Every structure is written in C-alpha cells, then in structure tokens.
C-alpha cells in the first residue's frame, strides 16, 4: 500500500504510467500517426506535425471523469489488492465518495476492463457443463427454474489440474445456446468432456473431439468434478463479496470479474493484477466501449 501511494502520489505520475501502457512503442498521434509531441499544461500531448492534442485517457474508462486519475488508481488498487475483490459499498467507503451510485458506476466500468479484448480461447482438454446460480432448489434441465440463472462453465485441464476458465450466462441448455458458447470459449480441435446431455449432441460436428465422460445428465447436481470445484468457488465468492445480492441482469459482469481473478490466481503478485487491469482499462476495443455504455439502472 505504501509503495503504491509513493508511486502514484501525483496526477502526473498516473498519466505517465498510462502513457507507457497506451503507447508502449512510444507516442503515436491518434490523428496523423506522427511520433513526436509536446506536453501541454493540461497534461495533453500536442502532436508536433498536425498539432492535434492527444489525451492519454481518450476512449478509455477514465475519459470524461471529473475525478483525478489518482482516485481511479486507488480504486483499481482497492479492487485488485484484495483477494476477493470489492463491492460498491466498500469502494464508496475507501474513496470517501458521497454517492453509492458513483462507486457502483466505477465498479461497473472496471469490470468491463476485466474482459480481455481478443482473449485467447481455452485449448488442450476442456470440461464443459452448465450450472444454476441463485435460487434454492435444483431445477429441471433445459427449462427455466424459478429464481435461478443458468451459466455455461468451461474449465481447462492442465496435467489433471484446473487451468483457465470461461463463464457465461445462457438462456437455456439447448444446443442453440451451448454451441455458440463453446465456439466462443474453446479453440477448435480441442478435446471436450461433457455429460450425455442432448444439448452437446453435435459437439463433434462443430469441430471438436467430443468425449462423454458421464452418462447421467442432470442439472445443478452431478457436475463434472472440475466444473463443480469452480462453481463452488464462484458461489462462495458471490456470497462473500456481494452477499449473494447479484441480480441476474448483472451476473455477466460478476462472472467476468471472477474469471479475471481466477485465471490470474497463480500470478502471485497483486501488483501484476493491478498492472493488467490498468492496461486493459486503456485498451480501446469496441466490445469494451459497448460494455461501458450499457449503463443499466441498478435496482
Ligand atoms: Zn498528429
């Protein structure tokens, strides 16, 4: 924490940090591509050739924010330095915000940055199953169960241990819902393990090596072991960090945050998680921009 405070104690230090992440190969003008600029009093980079004033925060989650970058950096630190993350109330308290709404919006934006643009798909061997989140009783497969949200879970197996994961909310367990999710999450030709549910009936036809490792397809119970372990951790995390108060329309954002943390669980250093999140926060990707503007009203 002290190290962090020392490194980012001025606005200038934060801007320089963003500069390096945004232009790792050195400055490049957004308008004309020229590689030299003057810095201005307003912390902008004025292109020597076309005079366009480049902002290091344009198009990122920091754009248009009235709060200093210092405060943003503290928020990111708060979010990444804790093993289980943070909720809006905690963030509001730490940053001394008057409004819960602001804290919530910031968290939303930061969660958008946790979806790595163009991230690599899972490969090698992958276990796939679906599970219900929320509600009390196990539901019937393929139909909506009361108060429950169905999620798609893909877990990579690396030397018999859990590798990376992908999670996604799905409307039902039909082949029409499962197949696009598989294609989005898993590299072609990968070995995919599932149970005998008919939604997986065409997995080998869509470009994968399909193995049925369990004959008895039932939802909510009897998950494949590695999937089961990930889902238990996810449920515990949702309960611990968010007291289980996650509304279905927002679930995808929480799934992204969990995935972001889970896939970096062995990186050891919290600093690395911080670096990665700031790096993704300055990346300008259409998917990301769409996420930021999906300002759903928190109820
Ligand atoms: Zn220029």
For residues 228, 165, 90, 147, the Cα torsion angle rounded to the nearest 10 degrees is -50
Beta strands in 141-248 (DSSP E): 149-158, 161-169, 191-195, 209-214
> How does 208-222 read in b/e, with b if 16+ C-beta sit within 10 Å?
bebeeebeebebbee
CA separation for the pair 229, 233 (Å, rounded):
6
Q: Residue 39 is inside which H or E element, if any?
A: strand 37-39
SS3 labels along 46-75: EECCCCCEECCCCCCCCCCCCCCHHHHHHH
pLDDT tens digits in sequence order for the chain, 299 residues long: 778 888 899 999 999 999 999 999 999 999 999 999 999 988 899 999 999 999 999 878 888 888 999 999 999 999 888 777 788 899 999 999 999 999 988 888 888 888 765 578 999 999 999 998 876 545 455 444 566 889 999 999 988 899 999 999 999 999 999 999 999 999 999 999 999 999 999 999 999 999 999 887 776 567 899 999 999 999 998 888 777 777 777 788 889 889 988 888 876 667 788 888 898 888 766 666 667 666 554 43
Residue whose C-alpha is closest to residue 155's, from 262, 232, 230: 230
**Measured distance CA(272)–CA(53) in Å, rounded:** 31
Ligand 1 centre distance from Cα of residue 64 (Å): 22
Distance 177 CA to ligand 1 centre (A): 46
173 C-alpha to center of ligand 1: Å?
Answer: 51
Residue 112 Cα, ligand 1 centroid: separation in angstroms? 29
State the distance from the centre of ligand 1 to the C-alpha of 52, rounded, in angstroms.
5
User: Which of 111, 221, 129 minimizes the C-alpha distance to 168?
Assistant: 129
Tell if the pTM clears 0.85, that is, is over it. no
């Amino acid at each position: 924490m002290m190290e962090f405070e020392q490194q980012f104690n001025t606005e200038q230090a934060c801007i320089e940090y963003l500069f390096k992440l945004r232009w790792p190969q050195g400055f490049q003008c957004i308008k004309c591509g020229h590689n030299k600029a003057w810095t201005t009093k307003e912390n902008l980079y004025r292109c020597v050739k076309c005079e366009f004033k480049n902002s290091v925060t344009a198009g990122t989650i920091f754009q248009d924010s009235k709060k200093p970058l210092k405060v943003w950096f503290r928020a990111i630190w708060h979010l990444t330095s804790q093993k289980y993350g943070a909720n809006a109330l905690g963030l509001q308290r730490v940053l001394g915000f008057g409004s819960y709404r602001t804290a919530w919006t910031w968290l939303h934006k930061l969660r958008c940055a946790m979806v790595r643009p163009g991230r690599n798909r899972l490969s090698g061997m992958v276990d796939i199953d679906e599970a219900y989140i929320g509600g009390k009783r196990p539901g019937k497969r393929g139909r909506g169960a009361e108060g429950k949200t169905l999620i798609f879970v893909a877990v990579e197996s690396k030397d018999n241990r859990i590798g990376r994961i992908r999670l996604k909310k799905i409307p039902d367990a039909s082949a029409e819902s499962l197949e696009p999710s598989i294609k989005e999450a898993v590299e072609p030709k990968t070995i995919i393990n599932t149970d005998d549910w008919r939604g997986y009936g065409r997995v080998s036809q869509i470009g994968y090596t399909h193995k049925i490792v369990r004959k008895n397809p039932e939802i909510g119970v009897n998950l494949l072991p590695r999937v089961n372990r990930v889902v238990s951790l996810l449920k515990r995390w949702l309960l611990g960090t968010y007291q289980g108060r996650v509304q279905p329309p927002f679930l995808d954002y929480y799934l992204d945050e969990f995935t972001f943390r889970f896939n970096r669980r062995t990186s050891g250093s919290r600093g690395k998680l911080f670096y990665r999140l700031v790096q993704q926060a300055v990346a300008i990707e259409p998917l990301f921009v769409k996420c930021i503007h999906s300002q759903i009203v928190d109820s």
